[in-house]
Amino acid sequence: MYAYTTFGTFTATLTVTDDVGASGTAAVVIDVRNDPPTAALSISPAAVLTGVPVTFSGAGSLDADGPIAKFEWDLDGNGTFETDSGATATVVRSFPNRMRVTVKLRVKNAGQTTLGFVVGGRQRGPRDNRFVFKVSRNGTPVAIKDAPDFGGISFYKALKPGEGHELAVDLRSWADLAIPGHYAVDVTYEGELAKDGVMPTTATDRKNLWDVALTGQGGILVQ
C-alpha cells in the first residue's frame, strides 16, 4: 500500500517478469484530489434573545482528507466572513436589538380653512417641531438621548380642509431598547400651526401662530 502525501496527477507503473526473463508493463494515471470539507452549523441556545450570548458551533463539520484548518463566520448576514476563529470550531456572540420601532404622527385638518403645520427643521427652538419621549422598561425609566437632527429648515406644510400629513421617526434614536422587557412609551409632539398655511415672516405674523402639544401612549414588548 502506498499513500500519496501531496495533491496532483501521478502515473503508477507496474512491471511483471516471468521465470524466463520476459516482462510486461502496465500503467495507470492517478489523480490525487483534495475533496472539500462538509460544513455543519449549530447554535445554542436555539431561541436567540437580545443581548444573550449565542454559541455558534461548526464542530459537526467533516473533512475526509484531514483536519479542518480554518473556520470563518458571517454573523451579521452581509455576505462578508468577518470573523476568523482559526482552527477553533466555535465562536460566541450576542446581538443587540436591531428592530425598528416606528412612531407615527398623523395630523388632519378637520376645519374649514387652510392651516400650516410645521415640519422639518433642526429642533433648536421651543416653538420648533420636536418629539418628546418618556420611556420606561418594566416600570423603570429609560434614559433619553438627545433629539436627532431632522435636517433642513422648518417650513409650514399647507393643509387644506380634509388634508393631512404624517411624520414618522424611529424610537431607537431616542431610547435604548436592547434589553428584553415591556416598554411603556409616552410621546408628545410639540409644534405649531400657522394661519392660512403661510410661513410667518414678521413679528405680527408670528402672533397668528398657535402652539400645539399632541400626546399619545403605547407599549412595546422586547423578547
Which CATH number does 102-222 carry?
A: 2.60.40
Q: Where are the domains of the chain?
A: 102-222
- Using alpha carbons, select from 130, 54, 95, 118 the residue that is nearest to residue 222: 95
Q: How far apart are the first and last CA of the chain?
A: 60
Q: How far apart are CA 186 and CA 177, in angstroms?
A: 15
DSSP assignment of 134-152 equals EEEETTEEEPBPPPPP--S
Q: Please, what are the averages of pLDDT over each run of 10 residues along the chain (223 residues)?
A: 82 88 89 82 82 88 84 81 89 76 82 80 54 90 76 73 84 83 88 78 76 85 75
Phi, psi of 221, rounded to the nearest 5 degrees: -105, 120
Q: Are 173 and 100 in contact (CB under 8 A)?
A: no
The three-state secondary structure class of 85 is: strand
Q: Taking a C-beta distance cutoff of 8 angstroms, is the pair 214, 107 a contact?
A: yes
Residue 36 cell numbers, joined: 472539500
| Predicted TM-score (pTM) of this structure | 0.52
Cα–chain-centroid distance for residue 22? 77
Instruction: Round to whole Å and give the CA distance between 158 and 195.
Output: 9
Dihedral sign, Cα of residue 169, residue 157, residue 187, residue 135 = positive
Q: What span, in angstroms and rounded, lies between the C-alpha atoms of 182 and 186?
A: 13
Quote the pLDDT of residue 71.
Answer: 92
Query: What's residue 137's pLDDT?
Result: 92
Q: What is the pLDDT of residue 214?
A: 84
Report which secondary-structure segment, H or E, holds 203.
helix 203-206
pLDDT at res. 7: 77
